[in-house]
Structure 1
Amino acid sequence: MLWRFGVVLIAVVGLAACERRTEPTPSAAPVVASKAAPETATPSPTLKAVKARGELRCGVNPGLPGFAFQDNRGRWRGFNVAFCRALAAAVLGDASKARMVPLGNEERIAALRSGQVDVLWRNTSWTFSRDAGQGLDMAAISYFDGQGFLVRQTLNLTSAVELSGAKVCVQANATSAQNLDDYFRGRGIAYTAVVLDSGDQARAAYQAERCDAFTADISALAAARSVMNNPADHVILPDVISKEPLGPLVRQDDPAWTDIVRWTLFALILAEEHGVTAKTAKAMTDGSDPEMRRLLGGEGTFGRLLGLDSAWAYRAVTAGGNYGEIFDREIGAGSALKLDRGMNALWSAQKPGLLYAPPMR
């Protein structure tokens, strides 16, 4: 019985093999071309309004040295101001058409949501509640920050945990007060919060010795220290008690405008990564780097995908330089703040940071 079963099995296998040999070899599957990218962007109501009025309205800090402030001639300067001008150059063809609207902490979100400003580019953190609960989007991160503490050198402190029983100046209507309470309460450290309405008031109270320490984003502490009577008498402690991703906030109901703001910032980051500066942008438009030709308008029609022309990124870069040029001039080595790149260095730098932009393709 087993012998018969084996014969049948061999016969079946042999038949199947013959059938496979007699089948024609299938022809290669036809190559299906990938779907072409759309030639035009989804219309942006914000972009339409900006073009109609001929002016970009940027919500900025009323006065934060290095980031947004007015100089002796009344001209707005700073890290965030430079990005606003780059955006105006991209969408309106003229960096001077950016108008800075100074906004305090208590009014900044309402001003953006009501349409008083087109973008909020100031020291405002990306948080869950703002993203999910207030109808806002952070287009991208322009500065990676964290909250710290400024104290007097004479206290000889090495860490914030030594501030037990201290009075700490902090600004109201910001995430700083909650971060401060989370940090000390989580460690069982007693403290007294001296809450002020604005950053300037918190700095003034600290200078008047109404408190032992001043807490805010480290960038804001460096800015505050730079305008004190004796900056060298104050030190920023090494403790970083929070993550504060800062960048341009926009309304959530206009995703096409979000893309424009996001990619204008990414254009400046990519330009630094590829060595494109305000001075070399023109030559690199037709250079050997394909990605930079696409970015700067020398190849392709990528501007159409944003509802802009092909030279949008070229104008953004030449308005005030790439990300690195802006950083060094406004808050880095070439400024009074002299902030280190740190986390804000390019991902590809010798000392890598977190700064990264998607590819231009």
Structure 2
Amino acid sequence: MTEQLGNRRAFLTAGSLMGATAALAASSVVATPGSALAQDAGGSLKAIRDRGELRIGVAPGEPWFYKDQRSGEWYGLGWGLGVAVAKELGVKPVPVETTWGNAVAALQAGQFDVMFTMDATPQRALAVDFPVQPMFWYAQGVLLADGVSVTSWEEMNKPEFRIGVVLGTSPDRDITVRLPKATIERFPSADETGAAFIAGRMDGISLFHPALVMLQSRLKRGKVILPQPLRESPSSAAVPNVADKSWRDWLGVCLAYFYATGQTQKIFEDYLAFRGIDPAATPAIMRERWKS
């Protein structure tokens, strides 16, 4: 990525991933109930603790996962949360490299125990499982060109406002409906959108805000805002869909605790600082901190 958390169905229908937006859409692999439950023996909380390892699916895509090519070490919000969860369990965090497109199938095959920062969608929920509790929240934002000053979607809804989106993503679909009068330019990737932005072809770019922050860092220009009214969405962590729900349920409790105590936000801010980005100038991933 408004969404309500009153019941499990409402949560599972909320959201699509930003950042690696287009790539993540490819991971909606669907399985039959039999194959989804095939890895039952290795998908329980007891199995993870007995093994002494938490196998974490990792795939390049900032700010979720980032691999330092010199050291081979992983960083990012997804990895940082994985390390924190493993510490609570008293086990070792082990990265298992995958791709966003293959992550669901890899979970079904029992290759790892969890993939953080994967949004719960109806299609994915047919193949893998998700805790009821959200991991964090993000909002659809806009990277404004220098000199452009708007605060609401309505201010952008005019022909002279040029806005760029990545073709086929959730922001593309939302902008098409939200800004029918604006001039919308669509590009195959965030990098191509950014290149057009640098060339002065647009007044703004719309993506989910953590991805915009990383794009702004690369472009070294513009300002990220969360236009009113907010368009918000929760992110989650995918786990194998097995009959024993002890791992899924415990993980949900853990993620809710990390979020409520600010640990998830701190992990995000630590990564931003690691990448040379000022956390104070970046919208939070706690929706309670967003201005209403």
**Equivalent residue, structure 1, for 2:188:** 196
**Equivalent residue, structure 2, for 1:257:** 247
> 1:266 deviation in Å?
3.5
Q: Structure 1 residues 252, 103: closer, same or farther in 2, change over 3 A? A: same
Q: Structure 1 residues 136, 171: closer, same or farther in 2, change over 3 A? A: farther
Q: 1:235 aligns with which of 210, 219, 223?
A: 223
The residue type equivalent to 1:180 in the other structure is: I
Asked if the contact 2:136–2:264 (Cα under 8 Å) also holds between the matched residues in 1, the reply is: no
> Per the alignment, in what secondary structure is the counterpart of residue 81 of structure 2?
helix
What is the aligned-residue RMSD (CA, Å)? 3.8
> 1:145 deviation in Å?
1.2
**Equivalent residue, structure 2, for 1:246:** 235
> 1:250 deviation in Å?
2.3
Return the structure number with greater relative CO, CA threshold 8 A, min gap 6.
2
Structure 2 distance, partners of 1:113, 1:181, is: 35
Structure 2 distance, partners of 1:206, 1:260, is: 44
1:109-131 C-alpha deviation (Å, 9 max, x unpaired): 44444444422212x43445544
Q: 1:150 aligns with which of 133, 143, 152?
A: 143
Asked if the contact 1:144–1:344 (Cα under 8 Å) also holds between the matched residues in 2, the reply is: yes
Structure 2 distance, partners of 1:156, 1:226, is: 20
Q: Structure 1 residues 352, 205: closer, same or farther in 2, change over 3 A? A: closer
Structure 2 distance, partners of 1:146, 1:227, is: 20
Structure 2 distance, partners of 1:99, 1:196, is: 30
**Equivalent residue, structure 2, for 1:101:** 97
**Equivalent residue, structure 1, for 2:87:** 89
> Per the alignment, in what secondary structure is the counterpart of residue 153 of structure 1?
coil
Asked if the contact 1:168–1:213 (Cα under 8 Å) also holds between the matched residues in 2, the reply is: yes
1:267-312 C-alpha deviation (Å, 9 max, x unpaired): 4346x38xxxxxxxxxxxxxxxxxxxxxxxxxxxxxxxxxxxxxxx
Asked if the contact 2:144–2:222 (Cα under 8 Å) also holds between the matched residues in 1, the reply is: yes
Q: 2:215 aligns with which of 220, 224, 244?
A: 224
> What 5-or-longer segments of structure 2 have no aligned partner?
1-39
Structure 2 distance, partners of 1:214, 1:70, is: 26
Superposition map of 1:196-345 within 5 A = 196-197=188-189, 199-209=190-200, 211-228=202-219, 230=220, 233-239=221-227, 241-254=230-243, 255-269=245-259, 272=261, 322-323=263-264, 325-331=266-272, 336-338=277-279, 339-341=282-284, 343-344=286-287
Asked if the contact 1:151–1:212 (Cα under 8 Å) also holds between the matched residues in 2, the reply is: yes
Asked if the contact 2:136–2:285 (Cα under 8 Å) also holds between the matched residues in 1, the reply is: no
> 1:246 deviation in Å?
1.2
Asked if the contact 1:164–1:189 (Cα under 8 Å) also holds between the matched residues in 2, the reply is: yes
Structure 1 distance, partners of 2:106, 2:200, is: 34
Q: Structure 1 residues 136, 160: closer, same or farther in 2, change over 3 A? A: same
Q: Alignment identity in percent?
A: 21
**Equivalent residue, structure 1, for 2:134:** 141
Q: Structure 1 residues 192, 344: closer, same or farther in 2, change over 3 A? A: closer
> What 5-or-longer segments of structure 1 have no aligned partner?
1-42, 274-321, 346-350, 354-361
> 1:222 deviation in Å?
1.3
Structure 1 distance, partners of 2:143, 2:290, is: 26
**Equivalent residue, structure 2, for 1:176:** 171
> 1:214 deviation in Å?
1.9
> 1:81 deviation in Å?
1.1
**Equivalent residue, structure 1, for 2:62:** 64
1:154-200 C-alpha deviation (Å, 9 max, x unpaired): 3444544425443512264x43332233322xxx3244341425x45
Structure 1 distance, partners of 2:199, 2:290, is: 39
The residue type equivalent to 2:211 in the other structure is: A
Asked if the contact 2:209–2:283 (Cα under 8 Å) also holds between the matched residues in 1, the reply is: no
Q: Does 1:46 align with 2:43?
A: yes
Structure 1 distance, partners of 2:96, 2:198, is: 29
Structure 2 distance, partners of 1:210, 1:74, is: 38
Asked if the contact 1:145–1:244 (Cα under 8 Å) also holds between the matched residues in 2, the reply is: yes
> 1:239 deviation in Å?
1.0
The residue type equivalent to 1:330 in the other structure is: Y
**Equivalent residue, structure 2, for 1:286:** none
